[in-house]
C-alpha cells in the first residue's frame, strides 16, 4: 500500500509535539511531505528532520500537489478558517474544529470532498 502523504499546518506545541510523533509512529501508513508555520525556524526544523517541503504561507502550502491529507495543528481559534481553506483547495483534512456553530460550514464542504477522499486514498 502506498503511504498517505501528509502536510501539517502549525508546527508548535501540537504540531511538533503531538502530530509529528503520532505520524512518525505510524510510518507504515503515513509520510510527512510538507509543513507550514508562520515561524521560519520551525519550518526549517521540520524540513531538516523529515526531509519535507516547508512553507510560511498557507496558500502556497495548499498548492503543494504532494499533500494528500492535511493535519490542522494551529491555534484552536484558527482551526475553522484553516480547515475551510484546505477543503476549498481540494485537500482532505484530518482534523476538524469543535465548535458546533461552524460545523455546518465544514460539513457542507467536506460532503463535497468525501467522494474525492474515498476515490483518491481508497484507504
- The CA distance from 41 to 48, in Å, is 11
pTM over 0.85: no
Side-chain-side CA neighbours of 51 within 13 Å: the count stands at 1
Looking at residue 6, its pLDDT comes to: 93
Q: Which residues contact 112 (CB under 8 A, 6 or more apart)?
A: 87
H or E segment and range at residue 57: none
Each residue's pLDDT tens digit, 33-81: 999 999 999 999 999 999 999 999 999 999 999 999 999 998 888 888 8
Domains of the chain: residue spans and CATH: 4-121 (3.40.50.720)
- Residue 117 pLDDT grade (very low, low, confident, very high; cuts 50, 70, 90): very low
* CA–CA distance, 25 with 23 (Å, rounded to integer): 5
Amino acid at each position: 500500500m502506498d503511504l498517505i502523504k501528509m502536510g501539517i499546518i502549525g508546527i508548535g506545541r501540537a504540531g511538533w509535539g503531538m502530530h509529528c510523533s503520532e505520524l512518525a509512529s505510524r510510518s507504515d501508513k503515513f509520510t510527512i511531505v510538507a509543513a507550514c508555520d508562520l515561524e521560519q525556524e520551525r519550518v526549517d526544523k521540520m524540513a531538516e528532520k523529515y526531509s519535507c517541503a516547508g512553507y510560511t504561507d498557507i496558500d502556497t502550502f495548499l498548492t503543494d500537489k504532494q499533500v494528500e491529507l492535511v493535519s490542522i495543528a494551529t491555534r484552536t481559534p484558527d482551526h475553522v478558517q484553516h480547515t475551510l481553506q484546505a477543503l476549498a483547495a481540494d485537500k482532505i483534512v484530518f482534523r476538524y474544529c469543535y465548535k458546533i456553530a461552524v460545523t455546518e460550514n465544514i460539513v457542507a464542504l467536506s460532503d463535497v470532498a468525501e467522494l474525492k477522499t474515498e476515490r483518491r486514498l481508497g484507504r
